[in-house]
Structures are given as structure tokens and as C-alpha cells.
Structure 1
Amino acid sequence: MAKLTEDQLTQLKTSLQQRYLDLREEVRGELERSGEQRYIDLAGSVRDAGDGSVADMLLDINTAMVDRQVHEMREVEAALKRLAELSFGDCIDCSGEIGFDRLMAYPTAQRCVQCQSLHEKTYSHEGTPTL
């Protein structure tokens, strides 16, 4: 495990736990709002294709937001697991230490700054569709 003090570990754990609770509330709120059937009502009352596509877009945005939040919750759970297994703060690529400042800014970080930069340069094209 990275050389973090007990106080630093406590700060990071608290930050991770609070983020998890915040995300859980966000997901709950999104699901409750979608349960109000406002999108279904909107889609049911459309008069033309433009209104229908707006209703579909609103539904897709809601789904994408929940998906992003659930993905982040999984990242937080994985970080808490690494914290419990004493591998928290170790870079998954070079096994070096991820700095405390980076972890405070991004507690779910799995790579040090140098390895993350290299990873982004190497794999930046993967999410980009091509013809």
C-alpha cells in the first residue's frame, strides 16, 4: 500500500463513503422522477415526430445519467475494497505510489499521473467511432 498516514487514509475513506452515499441518493432521485411517468406522458401526447424525438431524448438522458452514476458507484466500491485489502494508492500499471493530492482530487484513481497520461494517450482512440 502507498505510504499514506492514518489521517490521510481516514480522509480518503470518508470521502469515498460520502461520495457513495451521494451517488446512491442521486440514483434514487432519478429513478423516483422517472417513476412519475412524466416522460411516458410526454411521449403519449406527442403530435409530431419532433416531439416524439424530444421525448425519446429525455428518456435516454435520464438512462445515461443513472448509468454513469451506477458506474461511478462501482468505482467507489472497488476503491473501498482496495483500501480494505491494503492495495489502495498503488498504481495498477507501475506499482508506484499514487500521490495523496491526486487521491484527494480523484479518490478512485487507479494509476499515478504518469501512467494515467500514458494510458490516455495510448487508448484515447478507443471510444471514438470511425466510419
Structure 2
Amino acid sequence: MAVELTDEEIQRFRKILQERFEELKRGVREDLLRSDREHFTDLAGEVHDPEEASVADLVIDTGLAHIDRHISEIRAVEAALLRIGRGDYGSCVDCDQPIPLARLEANPTAERCIACQTDLERAEALVEPPTGQHHRTL
């Protein structure tokens, strides 16, 4: 059963989220600096055959995907910090019921209770085709 968070728990989550935010910002900064130093774009421009081009593209795409994941998590952390500021952290954004403490411990950026998150994921699965497949028009 979910219970309301205490002020101490909210402050603890605020600290966890702020620390994660700083860690993610450092990670993005380091990834961008590393990418710049390694000149991935130069590597892609200097390849001599299609196989080398594929490897260079993969290296570039992997680095960008890593940065994308960091940025997505930064947005989730910022949203959680905003919910703390508004006083509705720990409440499901869909049903307004308290999110269980165990769920927040596992994922401090959680914005939905398990039931609502499951419903959302099921709905998204029905809308989006599996990766690698395209809609066919009839």
C-alpha cells in the first residue's frame, strides 16, 4: 500500500535527484569533450571503403545515443525536481494516488504508480510498431 512521503523523505529524494542531475551534466560534458577530441566526424570523412564508413557511422551513432540517454534522464530528473517544488512529488501524474516508496527508491524519477505506468506502456505498445517494422498501408 502506498503512503504519503514525509518531509524528510522528500528532502532525501531532492538530494538524490540533485546529485544525479550534477552527475549527468558532468557525464554529458565529458562525452562531448571526448567526442570532440576523438574527431569522430573527421574519422567518418577520412574512410576509404564502405566497411570503414559503416564502422565510423556506428562509432558516431553510439556516442550520440549515449548522450541522448543522458539528456533524457536529465529531463526526467528536472521534472521530478519540479514536482518536488510544486509539492506533488510522489503522487501519480495520472491517478493522483501516492507512488509506493519502494518504487521511488528504485526509480526516484518515477512519475506514475505501477498500474498507471503499465497502462501507459501497454497503450504505447499498441500504437508503435516493434523496432525494425514499418506500417503497411492497405
What is the TM-score normalised by the length of structure 1?
0.90
Percentage of matched positions with identical amino acids = 38
Which residue of structure 2 aligns with residue 14 of structure 1?
Answer: 15
Cα displacement (A) at 1:123: 1.5
Residues 23, 69 of structure 1: 8 Å contact kept:
yes
Which residue of structure 2 aligns with residue 130 of structure 1?
Answer: 134
Which residue of structure 1 aligns with residue 100 of structure 2?
Answer: 99
- CA–CA distance in structure 2, aligned partners of residues 72 and 26 of structure 1: 11
Q: What does residue range 71-82 of structure 1 map to in structure 2 within 5 Å?
A: 71-82=72-83
SS in 2 for 1:61: helix
Q: Structure 1: which 5+ residue stretches go unaligned?
A: none
Cα displacement (A) at 1:64: 1.4
SS in 1 for 2:4: coil
What is the TM-score normalised by the length of structure 2?
0.85
Q: What does residue range 63-74 of structure 1 map to in structure 2 within 5 Å?
A: 63-74=64-75
Q: Structure 2: which 5+ residue stretches go unaligned?
A: none
Residues 8, 100 of structure 1: 8 Å contact kept:
no
Cα displacement (A) at 1:13: 0.8
Instruction: Say if 2:63 is the partner of 1:62.
Output: yes
Q: RMSD of the TM alignment (CA)?
A: 1.6
